[in-house]
Every structure is written in C-alpha cells, then in structure tokens.
C-alpha cells in the first residue's frame, strides 16, 4: 500500500492539497483508519480494506482456536442484528465505522472460516451447469432487488458472495478461462493496490482525448491493460525488495 500512498501523496502536493490530505493518506498505513473512516476517508478510499484485513488477522490470531460452526453462526447473527439496529437508529458516522470494521463484515469472514474448517473440496466442484446458470440469474436478481430495503440490504454481501462462488464454478468448466483467472489470482493483491492508480491514469488520458470519439469499451480495455501492467511491475519490485530484506535479516 505504501507505493500507492506515496503516488497519491505526490498528486496532492502537485495540486497544493498538503493538509489535511497528506495526514489522511498516511493514516491508512496505521491500519486504524477504519475506526474513524468517515473523518479520515479520502479519494480513492478503497485502501480501508487493508485495515479490515488486519482486523481479521488479529481475530484469527487471538480467537482462531475457539472458532467453530456454532460460535461463527452466533456472532454472525448478533452482528447482523446490530447492523440492522444501527441502520435504523444510529447516525451515518456510527454506521460508517461499524460497516468498515470487522463488525460489518464478520458474516463473510465466518463463511470463509467455516468452509476452511470443513476442508471439503467437493463443496467447490462444478455439479450441474443448469443449476449453476439458474443460481447465477436468481442471485443477481436478488442482489438488485435487495438494495431497496434496509432489512434486505443488510444481507446483500452474503448473497453477493454466493453469486461470485457460482461464477467461479462456471469458470472452472472452461479450461482456458479458469487458467486466466488463476493467473490473475496470483497478482490479485498487487492489482488491488494498483487499480486506483490505473484509474487515475486512465481518467487523465481520457481527459486528454475527450475531444475524440473514443468508446467506453476502449477506455475500459485501456484501464484493464494499465492495471495489469502496473500490477506486474509492482509485483516484481515487491518481491525484489522482500528478498533483499530477507537476505539482510539472515
């Protein structure tokens, strides 16, 4: 995350936005920005996810041995009910903090832990293509409809996770597509770090050529290409620096 923070910090300096923008940007490196997200959020704000991941690492480190299907279910229900209560009775800042911390995403974490504890590879093997296609359409429809009410909106991440699992099952049926996405998965962390940088560059290029008739498809393809290129370069630099640090410690 540091290279991305430095990149956007440089943009802030060039634009004359030194304070409080720089302070907010570097606060993301503490992994604590989630606890005051509405006050520390800054565009692009996607890096709050690293703080969320850090919280889940800590949860697993301290309580992983005590996690089982029953405890995961109980805490998921408790936190979902809390989310419903906050959605209806608390202010937007409280809601933002709850949602950007582990409290708002614990059910998704619980599903992942539960599946990991089961360690059953049959769960994620393709079964019936017609059932998978039906689930793909039904789950997508549910996601679109559930956003209309607060009660159903609370459960959208769970339904969305199921939808992505179905997409994964469908991809496993095609050898070449599955290989492409496996390759992308190797660089997923780098892609996540670099995609806001690619988006900034794409917007800059798009602004420069705004007078020409460039289709949205071309812009999206340019954005994807820039994202992959930057992610690959970042991956090489990261592994080089990591190997240097390991050698020095040894």
pLDDT in tens, 127-153: 788 999 999 999 999 999 998 888 888
Give me the pLDDT at residue 248, please: 64
Q: How confident is the model at residue 219 (pLDDT cuts 50, 70, 90)?
A: confident
Residue 77's alpha-carbon distances to 34, 35, 127, 155, 204, in angstroms, are 22, 22, 30, 11, 45
Q: How far apart are CA 205 and CA 217, in angstroms?
A: 15
Q: Taking the domains of the chain in order of start, what are their residue ranges? A: 1-119, 122-173, 187-250
Q: How far apart are CA 206 and CA 204, in angstroms?
A: 5
Taking residues 33-57, what's their average pLDDT?
92
Lowest mean pLDDT among 5-9, 81-85, 242-246: 242-246
Residue 162: strand, helix, or coil: helix
Q: How far apart are CA 231 and CA 237, in angstroms?
A: 10
Give me the pLDDT at residue 206, please: 66
Indicate the angle between helix axes 188-208 and 2-15, nearest 10 degrees: 20
Q: What tokens appear for 70 in the block?
A: 């029953």
Residue given tokens 């690293």 in the structure block: 50
Give me the pLDDT at residue 113, please: 93
Residue 14's alpha-carbon distances to 61, 216, 242, in angstroms, are 41, 29, 30
Lowest mean pLDDT among 10-14, 165-169, 188-192, 240-244: 240-244
Q: How far apart are CA 188 and CA 211, in angstroms?
A: 34
Residue 32's alpha-carbon distances to 7, 54, 101, 155, in angstroms, are 20, 9, 9, 26
Rg (CA), the chain: 21
Phi and psi dihedrals of 13, rounded to 5?
Answer: -65, -45
Q: List, as own/partner pairs, every contact residues 66-73 make where C-beta atoms lie below 8 angstroms and the sequence separation is at least 24, other chains included.
A: 67/113, 67/117, 68/117, 69/114, 69/117, 72/110, 72/113, 72/114, 73/110
Taking residues 223-245, what's their average pLDDT?
88
Q: Which of 105-109, 149-153, 172-176, 205-209 has the highest mean pLDDT?
A: 105-109
């Amino acid at each position: 995350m540091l290279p991305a923070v430095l990149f956007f910090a440089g943009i802030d300096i060039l634009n004359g936005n030194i304070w409080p923008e720089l302070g907010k940007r570097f606060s993301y490196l503490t992994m604590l920005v989630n606890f005051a997200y509405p006050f520390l959020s800054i565009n692009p704000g996607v890096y709050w996810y690293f703080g969320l991941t850090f919280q889940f690492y800590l949860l697993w480190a301290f309580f992983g041995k005590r996690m089982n299907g029953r405890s995961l279910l109980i805490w998921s229900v408790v936190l979902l009910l809390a989310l419903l209560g906050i959605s209806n009775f608390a202010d937007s800042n409280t809601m933002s903090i709850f949602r950007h911390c582990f409290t708002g995403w614990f059910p998704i974490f619980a599903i992942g832990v539960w599946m990991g504890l089961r360690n059953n590879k049959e769960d994620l093997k393709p079964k019936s293509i017609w059932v998978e296609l039906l689930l793909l359409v039904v789950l997508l429809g549910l996601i679109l409809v559930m956003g209309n009410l607060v009660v159903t909106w609370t459960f959208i991440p769970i339904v969305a996770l199921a939808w992505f699992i179905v997409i994964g099952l469908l991809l496993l049926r095609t050898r070449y597509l599955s290989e492409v996405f496996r390759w992308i998965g190797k660089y997923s962390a780098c892609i996540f770090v670099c995609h806001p940088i690619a988006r900034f560059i794409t917007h800059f290029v798009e602004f420069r050529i705004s007078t020409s008739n460039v289709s949205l498809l071309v812009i999206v393809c340019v954005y994807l290409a820039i994202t992959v290129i930057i992610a690959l370069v970042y991956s090489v630099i990261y592994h080089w620096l990591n190997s240097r640090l390991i050698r020095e410690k040894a």
